[in-house]
Structure 1
Amino acid sequence: MLTLADGRRVFVKAASSEHAPAVADFHRREIAITRQLDTPWTPRLLDAYDDGTWVAGVYEEIQGRLPTQPWRPDELDRALATLVELTDALTPPPVDHALLREPRLGGWQALAAGGGEPVERLRTMDPWAVDHLEDIANLETQAPHALAGEALQHGDLYPFNIMLNDERIFVIDWPHAWIGAPHCDTVTLLSSASLSGVDPQKLAERHPLTRAAGKEQIDVTLAAHAGFLLRIATSVGAEADQNLVAMMTALGLASVRWLRNRL
């Protein structure tokens, strides 16, 4: 957070392509995407800088805070209600399709084909998932059809990418946006909310975006979401950020539990 000469406060994200090329690419994509977003629930890009090495995005300061964790029911209800409005505003997507990447989904097929230590690690986390690895991998193959749609999806919708104040919910950090079925972000958020002791199924049955989706669409979303997280979590080495690995493991297993209960 920076204070400008005129007293305004702004939020700046910056990275070097030489020292952190992946992060710099994320910033470039987020700048390009956010520049085309114009909703009350998304941050406003004020300026950007890119000299080929250093890239920086300057965003308006959001007067708010992260949601309380574990989730407070009233804050979760507000976030879920905002998703309905946001999804409506972003369908059809107001963003140039060429800016977007493929969704960060899937991993069970790679686990099933590779076997070895990642699968053994997974067995210590969730034996059921390994015992049903082929079935979940087959479910994942249906993703291109089951998750097709015309809604811009955030692609990384967890509590750490949500801010709120007394008036509004904001969804921040958009480098992983993709175009798909309207229910996908809601499933991701509900799955992560189960870590707060929330029953995601009960909320999904009431929420307009998940209620409108077919059972298979929800199942495939959960499978593809968990596969992405758990393939990485079980495959990385000791040099990886262990806090990030623990987070991915918890979120992936939460989706597997919900999927298991549904099946």
Structure 2
Amino acid sequence: MPFGTRTSTATIVGMTDTPHTRIGWLDLPAAVRFRIETIVGGGRVETAVSQRGGFSPGTADRVTTETGRRAFVKAVHPAINSRSAELARMETRVSTALPRTAPVPQLLGAFDDDDWVVLVLEDVDGAQPRTPWVEVEFDAALAALTELAAAVTPSPVGDLPTTAERFAEDFASWDRIAADPPADLDPWLAGRLPELATAAKRSLDALSSGNTLVHCDIRADNMLVRHDDGRVVIVDWPWGANGPEWVDRLLLGVNVYVHGGDPARALDTVDPAVVTDFLAGLVGYFEHICRLPPPPAIPTVRAFQRRQADALRPWLRERL
């Protein structure tokens, strides 16, 4: 590790023994903090406020330096959760290529020293959209997705997976469920496993076209509403893929529905059959993964995934 001593795996793992614990600014080695401060500029960091939400066990700190410069810092070590480190590397790759015209935070700098993976981003003065969604913020989110699609079509990252490739493993979940049906699987689902598997696989055909850089994880907690003008900024880019523009609009509609709202305005340009097939894929994914053991240092994610399955199951039933 540049600037100091390599941090031991034992030290890192000890940071996450308590369930739902996110490491913070002071958990980072001094050499890593110094390197971040060099990127931010303005001297030493005087305040760091950890942000709640999300499922990464790494840092998510709004920092302010002694001269008042601000930034948002994300840092994770593979020993905490190796997948989180991989995702941080993918996010760095995508964020580096995002154009300034896109409604996203500016990437101020990033580094990866094989231990710590760090992104230093613009600290957006804003807050997550309220849920249940309110109309003005739903409108702003739709406007942001339209603005985003215009800025990233054609995709500025040519060698990413397609959206079909990104969702392929997840949308094969009905086959896994059929191979060993859970005892608590909803009977309506259990009686339609071949139909649901076919619909999910059919969705991959629709996902295989398009040349837009797609976020692939649009939810309220991956957006910020600016305090000054109400515009929406789209954050957290580890799942970027190249595909059709409508994917992010559909995912916004899903999130609005999960929180009890009407998703119609997000879906009005998407073929209804495509919506149904995509929804079949999503429900299969959540029904399968919510029953697996939680990944290291992320104990709450399975409960979140079960809530998604429970919320979306009635919508899928209605559409089929």
TM-score normalised to structure 1 length: 0.86
SS, match of residue 73 in structure 2: strand
Q: Name the counterpart of 1:109.
A: 175
1:221 equivalent in structure 2: 278
> Would you say the 8 A contact 2:292–2:302 is kept in 1?
no
Indicate the residue corresponding to 2:139 in structure 1. Answer: 77
What is the number of residues matched between the two proteins? 251
Larger Rg: 2
SS at match of 2:126: coil
Where does residue 303 of structure 2 map in the other structure? 246
1:195 to 233, 240, 258: 258
Amino acid at match of 1:228: Y
User: Does 1:155 find its partner at 2:216?
Assistant: yes
Which of 209, 219, 233 is matched with 2:290 structurally? 233
The SS at the match of 1:13 is strand
Question: Following TM superposition, by how much is the alpha carbon of 1:82 offset from its aligned partner in structure 2, in angstroms?
Answer: 1.8
Please report how far the alpha carbon of residue 28 of structure 1 lies from its aligned counterpart in structure 2 after TM superposition: 1.0
Residue 191 of structure 1 contacts residue 258 of structure 1 at CA under 8 Å; is this kept in 2? Answer: no
How far does the alpha carbon of each residue in 1:128-160 deviate from its partner, in whole angstroms, 9 at most, with x for none?
Answer: 222222211111111331222222211111111
Which of 81, 89, 92 does residue 28 from structure 1 map onto?
89
* Structure 1 residues 82 and 238: alpha-carbon distance in aligned structure 2, compared to 1, 3 A threshold: closer
Quickly say closer, same or farther: Cα 1:254–1:40, change in 2 above 3 A: same
Partner residue of 1:62 out of 124, 129, 132: 124
Question: Residue 194 of structure 2 aligns with which residue?
Answer: 134
Letter in 1 for 2:191: D
Amino acid at match of 2:194: E
Q: After superposition, what is the alpha-carbon deviation per residue over 1:54-106, rounded to whole angstroms, capped at 9, x for unaligned? A: 11110011010011122112211221222122122222111232478842441
Counterpart residue type for residue 254 of structure 2? S
CA displacement, residues 213-260 of structure 1 (integer Å, 9 cap, x when unaligned):
322211121112222222100233698855322221222333332222
Higher RCO, 1 or 2 (CA under 8 Å, sep at least 6)? 1
Shift of 1:172: 0.3
1:240 and 1:72 mapped to 2: Cα distance? 33
Alignment pair present for 1:255 and 2:312 = yes
Paired residue for 2:34?
A: none
Partner in structure 1 of residue 7 of structure 2: none
- Cα deviation, residue 5, structure 1: 4.6
RMSD: 2.3
Cα distance change on mapping 1:83 and 1:237 into 2, 3 Å? closer
Give me the whole-angstrom Cα distance separating, in 2, the residues matched to 1:178 and 1:30. 11
Paired with 1:74 and 1:239, the residues of 2 have a C-alpha distance of: 38
- In the alignment, structure 1 residue 47 sits paired with structure 2 residue 109: yes
Question: Structure 1 residue 199: deviation in Å?
Answer: 2.6
Change (3 A) 1:239 1:9: closer
Instruction: Structure 1: give runs of 5+ residues left out of the alignment.
Output: none
Partner of 2:79: 18
**Which deviations, in whole Å up to 9, do the C-alpha atoms of 1:135-193 show, x marking residues without a partner?**
11111111331222222211111111010024210110000111222221222221221
Q: Counting helix residues as a fraction of each chain, which structure ranks higher?
A: 1
Equivalent residue number for residue 268 of structure 2? 211
Equivalent residue for 2:150, pick from 88, 92, 99: 88
What's 1:181 paired with?
244
Distance 1:240 1:5 in 2: 32
Structure 1 outlier segments of 4+, above 6 Å: 237-240
Q: Would the alpha carbon gap of residues 131 and 235 (structure 1) be closer, same or farther in structure 2, given more than 3 Å must change?
A: farther
